[in-house]
Structure 1
Amino acid sequence: MSATRLEAAAAVVTVFSNRAEVTDWALRYFGPWWKAASVDAAEVCAEAVVSADVNPRGYEETTLLVQDGRPTEAVDYAKHPLLVAHDGDDIIATSPEEGIAYRSSPSSGLLALAGTDAQRLALAATRLAREAIRGQLLREGWAVLHSSAVVRPDDGATLLAFGDKGAGKTTSALLLASHGWQLLANDRVLVRPTGERDVEVVPWPSAAALGLGLLHSLGWDVTAQEHLRAGGSFHPTQHVSVTEALLAGDHTPLWESAKRERKVQVFPDQFPDLFDVPLATGGRAAALLFPQVEADAAPDVIDGTRTLGEADFMSGATEDRYPDVFGQARGVDGGGRDSARAEVASRLAELPHHAVRLSHDVPASAALLSKVADAS
């Protein structure tokens, strides 16, 4: 039996498994962002536990329970159909496409998974561990913002970047993280009012989706290509066409649909290891950034009236890929309580707001962002 312990603010979850590749996956995926560490399974005493075993018999037994005449609900979860039922106070579910069965006991904090494939089980256990951490934090007054974030290492000041898809949140964060700041989050953060006026920020670990054009403009495409040619890989959710483009040195954007680009999927630990981008584990909100990208325009500070809105908070409605079918939030909205979100919005509204125009001129955009960020 192996174990990986995760910690974010005051939330703690331990992942156990009979296969080391499952707990190793959690160790790598959460890394320093959530202080992931291998621990002695025999010595762990944790309230919240994700137990994930490669156990085909356990999968079959839960499948039979779900099918055994209980009221069953079909839910889309992580792009797979999930059949959900109840066994007393427990929530049970099966994902036939993945060969994974779930049992959640919300009152005790136990999440048990049984699967037929170690890699699929590792992915599922990581998702559930993240949901367990989020559930604890939401109940303690945290909220979730749709924002990238970077931290100034000398004082913990955190710059939060907001905007719709394609606005430049990721670009802003990575440019600053390549110029002296630390990367706290690529797409969302957990926030909580603390003290009289502060807002504490911790990361929401996830694989970062970087367009082929952005990777090239940052000068990282050659490193990515060399990594693949040496036998390395990126996150398994990366489409094979993206891998082929990287190997061919082609940075032409690949489109899955009119609005969805296929992107390079970067593990958190690959930022420091491959691209020399340091990671931060927490900070204090200091300023808000509202970027917009105009390919051929000169980077500049621009007039803007944009401020924080309801759409900038994640919620149960926007978190459609991972609905809270396992009861981790215990009735709290997936983006946090209304009171927590309102207080965070009020405090952030008092911080400096910067609207900036970025372009495909990376050095000029980086210089502008650094000037704005350093003044915050």
Structure 2
Amino acid sequence: MSTIAVRGTEVPSEEVPDYPMARAAACPFDPPPALRTLQDQAPIRRVRIWDGSTPWLVTRHEDQRALLADPRISADSNHPHYPHQSAGQKERRGLSWSFIAMDDPEHARLRRMVTATFSIKHMESLRPAIQKIVDGLIDTMLAGPKPVDLVHAFALPLPLPSLVICELLGVPYADHDFFQANSRILVKRTATAEQAGAATRRLLDYLERLVSDKLAHPADDLFSTLAARVEAGEVSRREAAAMGMLLLIAGHETTANMIALGTLALLQHPDQLARLRESDDPKVVASAVEELLRYLTIVHGGRRRVALADIELGGVTIRAGDGIVFTIDTGNRDAAVFPDPDRLDIGRDARHHMAFGFGVHQCLGQPLARVELQVVYSTLYRRIPTLRPAVDLDEIPFKHDSSAYGVYELPVTW
């Protein structure tokens, strides 16, 4: 019988658990119980993923930050031992290799091309426009029938995040049904390689045509900036399209899921909802956003990396070529960093959460996400103070099959 080393002990190889693991039905906001057990008993250990490979699973906050900041850890998804999340994701990454899946210096070179668009100053300048969109969506909700599905009335088909990201990128909002349908395929863990490949090609072809249009008719948007880089010979049209696809999908899925899931979490914690609703202090709102990001951690399939050299950590040797999966949801529920971590507390100092990742690859769009969520959370519950779920929690369908956690529907009334 073969064995693997885990924190100084020997564990039979057939005991390597499968990953991902199921959440408890009664605790849909919490990480899977089996993950919490590993965090307590074997915080760095092997797991088995969909293709039969056995990457290391890293579950504690301190270990995650140490490794994610280590230059010996690679984000290169073309590495033969990179632990892809699914067959569909592997196919997508192979067709659209953008800077998120590169290491420095190439990662830094490409990322710098788009960082100005997502600067904190620029995102803050969008706050009035985002506020106007949010107020308009709430006006429509209040004028319509109830109950209403908050996901489709407010968060999807992505009116807020879609309008904002389309404006920033220079993508026609009229085409949002097209890219929404294809992005939905790409974030599904159950999508086949064929399905993901077809969706990726459709999006890349569409965005490559958009780059060509911007070359002929530049405007004040990110795709025009990328088109200028193409004209200067710094990137190809296909590479520019891949960069835009990453930003388009990320700008849709994450914020939309946080709007609905964050609302549901607050509705299940009325004391915290009341604290947020009754305060007009921007610092309270900002704190609530950070705590909800920590508490929910919607990227629940783990951050993926591969080791480029042998690394000793916590009594474990991660060998060069080993895949690594970081369960950020458990890192954000680590009691060593966040006392009473399973309690939602909007007054908590949650600034050290890793919902946006950590290190050089942390999320480029986090300033936009923060502004959008601050506007939504400070407006929705104040304008509809009696907002409440229209169904029991066990009737709400959660996105267990997606790489971005959330709910498919959220019926609410008032």
TM over 0.5: no
TM-score (norm 1): 0.29
Higher strand share: 1
Higher relative contact order (CA closer than 8 Å, sequence separation 6+): 2
Higher helix share: 2
TM-score (norm 2): 0.27
